[in-house]
Amino acid sequence: MSNTDNPFSGGYGSAAATTTVSYGGAAPAASGALIKDTTTSGFSADVIAESKNQPVLVDFWAPWCGPCKQLTPIIEKVVNAAGGRVKLVKMNIDEHPAIAGQLGIQSIPAVIAFSDGKPVDGFMGALPESKVKEFIDRIASPDGGRDAAIQSALDAATEAVAAGDMEQAVQIYSAVLAEVPDQVAALAGLANCLIDLGDLEQAKAVLEQVPANKKDDASVRAAEAKVALADQAAKLGDPIALEAKLAANPGDHQARFDLAMYLNAAGQRDEAADHLLAIMKADRAWNDDGARKQLLQFFDAWGPADQASLTARRKLSSLLFS
């Protein structure tokens, strides 16, 4: 069965991550059988509902299937050894073919893992015990589902930022932080969104929530540099007046420096860097090497992989070492 035919090829939480973050349900109850047979009518309660408590594996089999008979004792042994982290539900497709047909099961044995009411992973064929254990450990890991959901949400937030939808990104980052308050990528991402939305004070408050031992994280440092730049830009004068001053006197390094700050705040990174490089080319010592220091602060805020950083670093190297 190819991935295009397989409804289980997507990752955990991928369908809903653009709007919310879901992490499954409560811990499984201590009582109750870990392994049971189900029917078409019982599937909703035994699998869909139960998977909101812990992952449920559905073993689609038939009495005539030789590999099914090989897999049964293996998967039952590993499920029992998992100690309640996962349950196994067995469905005889000869007696109950409807669910397998709806899910596109084309050969057996087929084992599908459900979590939070949705199919999240699966395998086909009689795997050895070691591979079955690896599969169950991945599905039933105490934090595995949550971690996958968080990463899916962070990816969705990144996409929202790239699309210019800062409000949507704020909602996603906030949902992640509601579950994991010290999640660094979400804290830094939320702060960046708030800066872009013009809420500097709230962005600072978010960065204050970063744990002390994670302050050196690159994304946090970048967000802090961005806050500092926004603070500096807010204290500058009228950009139109700065442009007029610079047109009248191209050697007015302070006007050029201040204009660079405005251009950066407006998202015109290449132009901002070029103004600072122009100051360095004319007078490297101006303001105690202030243009170079400010350019390095831009790099911190933009991130090392940003195209503007890469371009300006090449120009800076040419200027310094030519």
Residue written as tokens 């070029």?
274
Range of lowest pLDDT (43-52, 159-168, 237-246): 237-246
C-beta separation of 195 from 226 below 8 A? yes
Residue 272's contacts (CB-CB under 8 Å, 6 or more residues apart) are: 260, 261, 263, 264, 298
The stretch 145-154 carries a mean pLDDT of 74
Cα 296 to Cα 292: distance, rounded to the nearest angstrom: 6
The stretch 269-277 carries a mean pLDDT of 93
pLDDT above 50 for 28: no
Range of lowest pLDDT (47-56, 205-214, 295-304): 295-304
Indicate the length of the chain as a whole number.
Answer: 322
228-254: pLDDT as tens digits = 877 777 677 677 888 888 899 999 999
Question: What single string gives the DSSP state of each residue in 184-229?
Answer: HHHHHHHHHHHHHTT-HHHHHHHHTTS-GGGTT-HHHHHHHHHHHH
Helix (H, G, I), strand (E, B) or coil at 113: strand
Out of 47, 56, 68, 126, the active site residue is 68
Band of pLDDT at residue 148, cut at 50, 70 and 90? low
Residue 53: predicted pLDDT: 84
| Of residues 184 and 238, more confidently modeled | 184
Axis crossing angle, helix 129-140 with helix 144-162, rounded to the nearest 10:
60
Range of lowest pLDDT (13-17, 60-64, 138-142, 273-277): 13-17
Residue 237: predicted pLDDT: 65
pLDDT above 90 for 45: yes
Out of 65, 88, 191, 230, the active site residue is 65
C-beta separation of 89 from 58 below 8 A? yes
pLDDT above 90 for 179: no
Contacts made by residues 127-131, CB under 8 angstroms, sequence distance 24+: 127/71, 127/74, 128/74, 129/74, 129/77, 129/78
Residue written as tokens 């079955």?
132
Phi then psi for 88, rounded to 5 degrees? -120, 130
User: Of 104, 101, 103, 121, whose CA–CA distance to 112 is shortest?
Assistant: 121
> Taking the complete model, does pTM exceed 0.85, yes or no?
no
The pair of structure tokens assigned to 169 is 């990104």
Residue 91: predicted pLDDT: 95
Give the count of alpha carbons within 13 A of 132, CB side only.
26
User: Of 209, 208, 204, 159, whose CA–CA distance to 181 is shortest?
Assistant: 209
| Of residues 285 and 27, more confidently modeled | 285
Q: Is 193 one of the catalytic residues?
A: no
pLDDT above 70 for 29: no
Residue 217: predicted pLDDT: 87
- Angle made by CA atoms 301, 147, 178, in degrees to the nearest 5: 70
Residue 19: predicted pLDDT: 29
